[in-house]
Amino acid sequence: MYLSPWCTGKNSRLVVILMSVAWASPDMSSRCLLQKKSQHASAVSLARDRQVREDPAGSWLSAEKLKPFVRYESSDFSLQAPPEGGPFSDFFNQRVQGHGINKWLQYFPAYHRHLGKFIGKEVHIVEIGIFSGGSLDMWKSVFGPNAHVYGCDIDPRTKSYVDSQTQIFIGDQANPEFWKNVIQQVPRIDILIDDGGHTPEQQIATLGLMLPHLSPDGVFITEDVHEQSNPFWKSLKFAEDLESPRGKRYPALSGLVSSVHVYPFLLVVERDGNRDGDAMLRQLSTQEQPIETRAAVAGESSQEVSLQMLHSLQGPFPWLSWGNETRTAQMDDSLVALTTGMQMPSLLFVRDGKSDFSFDAPWDAQSDAFMSRILSDFKLLHEGICCDWHSNVMQNNIDSLHIYPHLLILKSTIGRERLVKSVKHGTVWIPHAR
């Protein structure tokens, strides 16, 4: 993740205000301008924008315009990734020297749940936005010698990371021609991590262009989707064409999606090859019955939960009874109210009341509608931008949202204070361009 000095310290609050005004503005040009100022966490992206203005016909940033690698000693090794991140947290916490890695701490449990299944196997990983190279080292270390890592960036200095396990591609993540070139040179993609330019336009483009090219059991991750009013969350859908904030359209992805998982500032989409109880247990990292389990139906529904749906869920959760189902009085009642007074750790199961969940149910228009309601009701999960953010009540209490066709499973935290922090570990960094 790239962090621009412009959005740190006393300026971070101004960033949030500007983003809210810009995204609410009907003037798309002013919206995009403020969006670039607030979300271009990549200093290299800022440099590229400057170059385009000065030399529109020019090539990508030349080596003469960029500073070399430097030693950078502002890493905070006292801030540690949580143990739920497994070997990914272990790598980050032990990274006291070497290429810098900058990640939000709440991402590490998500890495372990959604990517841990690839450890020790042949796996092909694409990461967009590789900055100082530390995350490339993490993927190779954790996944092992059979990992093939493909870094994508606009900064030609990142070519220095090429080795026997690593290829680097230089180009613009929103450009379809760039991805055509990557696809031709990469045998397959099992994991794609978008930690690139961070604008909604780029993030939607990458999802629309690249999810079809992931392997059937692949995992797609979009990082740093900050702020509750971010257009990315409002644009997200799969059963119909995906449309970017600027109106670019990408074909529907519904047949490719088995589940969607949401953490503070993070989206995980698992491809259609992850449709069974074992996948669900892995995604929730739940093996034992939690202290409390609640069941609910969203809105008015005259139908009780079907035995077929209950039996499907009792495969991974044999203790689930679905007794005393709570019904939201109105369709526009917030689902957040269903979490009031829950003990921790806990799980909340919510069916949409329109259709039954099953592991082979397709992602349809009703699934999109239910997901949109969930994202809207729990939008405070994404409050904050960078960098020394203090988690709000929702971020402290709700670990993650796991969305399946016609079903939400909400996982609470374990009750202790949650660090929602962007942290740097390492000593060798690409300096910010000026």
Residue 321, helix vs strand vs coil? coil
Q: Where are the alpha helices (DSSP H) in 150-276?
A: 176-185, 200-210, 231-235
Q: What is the pLDDT of residue 69?
A: 53
Residue 426 backbone class (left: φ over 0; alpha: ψ -120 to 50; beta: rest): left
Average pLDDT over residues 240-255: 96
Q: Residue 114 above 60 pLDDT?
A: yes
Q: What is the pLDDT of residue 286?
A: 87
Q: How far is residue 174's CA from residue 152's CA, in Å, rounded to a whole number? A: 12
Q: How far is residue 59's CA from residue 157's CA, in Å, rounded to a whole number? A: 14
What angle separates helix 12-24 from helix 28-39, to the nearest 10 degrees?
Answer: 160
The better pLDDT of the pair 225, 27 is held by 225
**346 in Cβ contact with 290 (< 8 Å):** yes
Q: Residue 37 above 60 pLDDT?
A: no
Q: What is the mean pLDDT of the chain?
A: 84
Helix (H) or strand (E) holding 48: helix 43-54
**pLDDT range class, residue 68, cuts 50, 70, 90:** low
Amino acid identity, residue 86? G
Q: How far is residue 45's CA from residue 47's CA, in Å, rounded to a whole number? A: 5
Q: Residue 63 above 90 pLDDT?
A: no
- List CB contacts of 165: < 8 A, sequence separation 6 or more: 140, 145, 147, 148, 149
Average pLDDT over residues 155-184: 96
- Residue 323 is classified by DSSP as -
Average pLDDT over residues 220-238: 96
**260 in Cβ contact with 305 (< 8 Å):** no
The better pLDDT of the pair 268, 72 is held by 268
pLDDT in tens, 130-148: 999 999 999 999 999 999 9
Q: What is the pLDDT of residue 76?
A: 83
pLDDT in tens, 373-410: 999 999 999 999 877 788 999 999 999 999 999 999 99
Q: What is the pLDDT of residue 413?
A: 96
Q: How far is residue 419's CA from residue 79's CA, in Å, rounded to a whole number? A: 9
Sign of the torsion formed by the C-alpha atoms of 237, 241, 244 and 250: positive
Q: What is the pLDDT of residue 7?
A: 38
The total of other beta-carbon atoms located within 10 Å of residue 42's CB is: 25
Q: Which two tokens stand for residue 175?
A: 């450009």
Q: Residue 57 above 50 pLDDT?
A: no
Longest alpha-carbon distance in the chain: 69
For the chain, give the percent of residues with pLDDT over 90.
73
The better pLDDT of the pair 31, 304 is held by 304
From the list 131, 117, 112, the residue with the least C-alpha distance to 43 is 131
Q: What is the pLDDT of residue 333?
A: 79
**pLDDT range class, residue 166, cuts 50, 70, 90:** very high
Q: What is the pLDDT of residue 369?
A: 96
**62 in Cβ contact with 382 (< 8 Å):** no
User: Which residue matches tokens 């892995």?
Assistant: 282
Q: What is the pLDDT of residue 385?
A: 82
- List CB contacts of 286: < 8 A, sequence separation 6 or more: 317, 347, 411
Average pLDDT over residues 293-306: 86
Residue 133 backbone class (left: φ over 0; alpha: ψ -120 to 50; beta: rest): left
Domains of the chain in start order, with CATH, are 70-276+422-429 (3.40.50.150), 277-412 (no CATH)
The better pLDDT of the pair 256, 71 is held by 256
Most confident residue range from 5-9, 162-166, 325-329: 162-166
Residue 93, helix vs strand vs coil? helix
C-alpha dihedral, 71 to 163 to 203 to 9, nearest 10°:
-10
Q: What is the pLDDT of residue 202?
A: 97
Q: Could you tell me the pTM of the whole model?
A: 0.85
